[in-house]
Amino acid sequence: MSAKPLPEWWTLYRSDALNALVDEGLRNSPTFAATDKSLAAAREQLRAQIGNSMLPTIDAGGQITRNRALAIPEIGTNTFLYNIFVGQLQAHYTFDLFMRSARCRMRIS
């Protein structure tokens, strides 16, 4: 598909600086093929995001700390040492009750 020639309305101002800016802009503007490729890449990225959001995720974490509590001097000089163990497990799943993601995937395809 050949591009239509642009009307060069900016040349009516007879400004060399303006002509240079417009020429540079036209040289560096993306072609139709490049724009089409970037749009296809964006669609693929969106499709991947929708697909990944429908998969369950599981996260696990843990933490161990050792603490010391100082005793009151009048009672004695004992220092109490104790450990704290913390563990957590998180599971996340997105339910598509109204088929919103499925409709979006069909629309993209």
Q: Tell me the domain boundaries of the chain.
A: 11-108
- Tell if the pTM clears 0.85, that is, is over it: no
Locate 64 and state its tokens. 């161990």
Residue 43 φ then ψ, to 5°: -65, -40
Q: Supply the pLDDT for residue 109.
A: 63
Residues 32 and 62 sit within 8 Å (Cβ to Cβ): no
Residues 43 and 76 sit within 8 Å (Cβ to Cβ): no
Tens of each residue's pLDDT in the chain, 109 residues: 456 666 888 888 999 999 999 888 888 777 777 888 888 888 888 877 776 667 788 899 999 999 888 777 676 667 788 899 999 999 987 777 777 766 776 666 6
Type and span of the H or E element at 19: helix 16-28
